[in-house]
């Protein structure tokens, strides 16, 4: 029984531990997962900020080179800001710009390799010293003569600075760079050049490429990005998720830090819905001109599923490599069950059977005592108790026989003594010194000798009821 109890205790302990883990771990793991999602969003936000800054640096480097191209400088040197534009000169300048743009390659890369998206500008504009558009390539090519001076980047470029900016133009977001064009003679600044890179789906997807969830499990942890400005959604990295209106609604209530660069770390994520799923969203403002038009980008990822047994099983399936180990669980259960049965048979069932057989033997008169040494533990205690009772009854019988012998004298040779006498005629109650109990009436039921013990030995067979 000891080992059975130990086994039961261990199995119960294991089950309790498993139950505790099953109940307590999912919420704890969920909290950890939520923290992890926040950290991932903040990290992704920082990474996107760095990528945008890196892109701006590349753009400024490129526009600086473009502004020094002899064809561009020469073309703008021929433009007099006080005179009407020469359409033919403008056309040639546009073609020159197109040729130069088509030659843009990644430094050190294979010349035959395709230029990655986002490197070549979507437009290049050439301005004279007054800020008037002399030629446009890539966007609004037919429009010339309008004045772009006044825009911060253009004013700075005309004043002699290279810089970047973010513009929202006709519903499209552009990263823009500008540079002054310096005369090779003594004319000073003869104009400025601008280039713009459209932020579209492909470029947006590049920013969050590192955060794409490539696992094939049911849960998608990809982070996507969307750009917003002027109270509208501009572009995003995935068309599958539509959180635009929800994000725009909630953006106004976001508590923004004073420093724009702290947005990723200081703005608490919020949740948005696309009608089917909930997403954790973090936002960061865009700098430059777009900042005055409420420009920002939002990063969002599906919110971790609420803790549940099914989710825990699903997670375990994923962590264990594709399938929940039901076979292991079943084998473990069978082993535990078999161990319990074996211990029960060894420690309870078999000793009980031996005790039962011993008791039947005793009842049949095949023995005078139970074999105590064959029974262990509590069964041995039962056998000892029965033997003690047998010994007591035997001693009482001997004492009674002795008393009768003293009262009636020694029994004649060949008789059973007092017992024999009592078995025939009961002694008279009038005898002095005798007070025997009345002899019980003859029983209606069969004598005890007719009791039979079954092999399994539980209940004695009851006699059949008489008519």
Partner 1 sequence: MPVLPIRHDSWTTRVAVACALLVTAAAPALAGKVTGELELSAPAGKPPLRGKAYLDRIENPYKAPRDVDPFPYMIVVLEGDAAKMPEPPPQEAWDLVGDRFDRPLIAVVPGSEVLIRNKGRGTPTLMIDGHADLLPHSPLNPRGERGFKAGAAGTLYELRDEDTPHITGGVVVVATPYHAIAMASAKDARKGSFSLSDVPDGTWTLRIWYRTGWLDGVEQTVEVKGSKTTSVSTIKIPAGLPTAASK
Site string for partner 1, 226-265 (x = CB under 8 A): ----x-----------------------------------
| Whole-angstrom distance, CA of residue 360 vs CA of residue 339 | 30
**CA dihedral (287, 290, 291, 292) positive or negative:** positive
**Does residue 218 bind partner 1 (CB under 8 A)?**
no
Q: Which stretch binds partner 1 (CB under 8 A): 12-20, 27-35, 158-166, 246-254?
A: 158-166
Nearer to partner 1, 149 or 313 (CB): 149
Nearer to partner 1, 190 or 362 (CB): 190
**Does residue 284 bind partner 1 (CB under 8 A)?**
no
Evaluate whether 258 touches 264 at the Cβ level (below 8 Å): no
Nearer to partner 1, 37 or 165 (CB): 165
Q: Which stretch binds partner 1 (CB under 8 A): 98-106, 147-155, 201-209, 215-223?
A: 147-155
**CA dihedral (96, 97, 102, 106) positive or negative:** positive
Using CB under 8 A, which residues numbered 168 to 187 contact partner 1? 179-180, 182
**Does residue 52 bind partner 1 (CB under 8 A)?**
yes
**Does residue 347 bind partner 1 (CB under 8 A)?**
no
Element (H, E) at 386: helix 377-408
Element (H, E) at 28: helix 2-67
Nearer to partner 1, 56 or 93 (CB): 56
**Does residue 193 bind partner 1 (CB under 8 A)?**
no
φ, ψ of residue 126 to 5 degrees: the values are -115, 130
Applying CB under 8 A, which of residues 150, 252, 321, 467 lies at the interface with partner 1?
Answer: 150
| Shortest distance in whole angstroms from residue 117 CB to partner 1 | 19
Print the SS3 string covering 203-263. HHHHHCHHHCCCCCCCCCCCCEEEEEECCEEEEECCCCCCCHHHHHHHHCCCCCCCCHHHH
| Shortest distance in whole angstroms from residue 161 CB to partner 1 | 4
| Whole-angstrom distance, CA of residue 14 vs CA of residue 5 | 14
**Does residue 165 bind partner 1 (CB under 8 A)?**
yes
Angle at 234 between CA 229 and CA 236, to 5 degrees: 125
Applying CB under 8 A, which of residues 11, 25, 60, 386 lies at the interface with partner 1?
Answer: 60
| Whole-angstrom distance, CA of residue 117 vs CA of residue 203 | 7
| Shortest distance in whole angstroms from residue 135 CB to partner 1 | 15
Q: Which stretch binds partner 1 (CB under 8 A): 5-13, 104-112, 152-160, 457-465?
A: 152-160
Question: Half-sphere exposure (CA, 13 Å, Cβ side) for 32?
Answer: 6
**Does residue 164 bind partner 1 (CB under 8 A)?**
yes
Q: Which of 226, 218, 191, 464 is nearest to 317 (CA)?
A: 218
Catalog residues that contact partner 1 under the rule CB under 8 A: 52-53, 56-57, 60, 131, 133, 140, 143, 146-156, 158-166, 179-180, 182, 188-189, 230, 287-289, 291-293
């Amino acid at each position: 029984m000891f080992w059975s109890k130990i086994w039961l205790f261990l199995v119960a302990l294991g089950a309790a531990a498993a139950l505790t883990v099953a109940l307590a771990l999912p919420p704890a793991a969920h909290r950890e997962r939520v923290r992890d999602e926040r950290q991932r969003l903040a990290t992704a936000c920082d990474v996107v900020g760095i990528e945008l800054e890196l892109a701006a640096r590349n753009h400024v480097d490129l526009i600086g080179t473009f502004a020094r191209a002899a064809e561009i400088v020469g073309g703008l040197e021929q433009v007099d800001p006080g005179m009407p534009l020469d359409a033919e000169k403008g056309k040639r300048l546009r073609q020159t710009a197109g040729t130069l743009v088509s030659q843009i390659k990644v430094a050190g890369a294979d010349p035959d390799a395709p230029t990655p998206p986002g490197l070549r500008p979507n437009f290049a504009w050439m301005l004279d010293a007054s800020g008037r558009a002399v030629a446009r390539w890539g966007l609004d090519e037919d429009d010339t003569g309008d004045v772009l001076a006044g825009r911060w980047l253009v004013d700075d470029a005309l004043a002699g600075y290279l810089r970047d900016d973010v513009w929202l133009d006709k519903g499209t977001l552009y990263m823009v760079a500008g540079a002054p064009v310096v005369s090779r003679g003594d004319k000073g600044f003869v104009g400025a050049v601008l280039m713009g890179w459209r932020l579209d789906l492909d470029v947006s997807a590049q920013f969050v490429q590192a955060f794409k969830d490539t696992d094939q499990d049911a849960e998608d942890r990809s982070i996507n990005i969307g750009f917003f400005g002027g109270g509208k959604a501009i572009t995003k990295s995935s068309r599958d998720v539509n959180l635009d209106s929800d994000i725009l609604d909630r953006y106004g209530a976001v508590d923004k830090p004073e420093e724009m660069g702290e947005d990723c770390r200081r703005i608490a994520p919020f949740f948005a819905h696309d009608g089917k799923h909930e997403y954790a969203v973090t936002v960061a403002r865009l700098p430059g001109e777009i900042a005055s038009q409420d420009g920002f980008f939002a990063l969002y990822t599906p919110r971790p599923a609420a803790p549940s047994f099914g989710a825990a099983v699903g997670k375990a399936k994923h962590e264990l490599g594709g399938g929940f180990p039901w076979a292991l669980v079943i084998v473990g259960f069978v082993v535990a069950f078999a161990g319990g049965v074996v211990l029960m048979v060894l420690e309870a069932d078999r000793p009980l059977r031996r005790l039962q057989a011993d008791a039947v033997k005793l009842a049949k008169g095949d023995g005078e005592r139970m074999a105590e040494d064959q029974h262990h533990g509590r069964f041995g205690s039962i056998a000892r108790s029965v033997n003690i009772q047998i010994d007591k009854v035997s001693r009482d019988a001997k004492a009674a026989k002795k008393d009768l012998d003293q009262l009636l004298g020694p029994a004649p040779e060949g008789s059973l003594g007092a017992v024999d006498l009592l078995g025939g005629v009961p002694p008279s109650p009038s005898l002095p010194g005798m007070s025997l109990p009345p002899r019980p009436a003859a029983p209606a039921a069969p004598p005890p000798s007719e009791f039979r013990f079954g092999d399994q030995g539980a209940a004695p067979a009851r006699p059949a009821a008489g008519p």
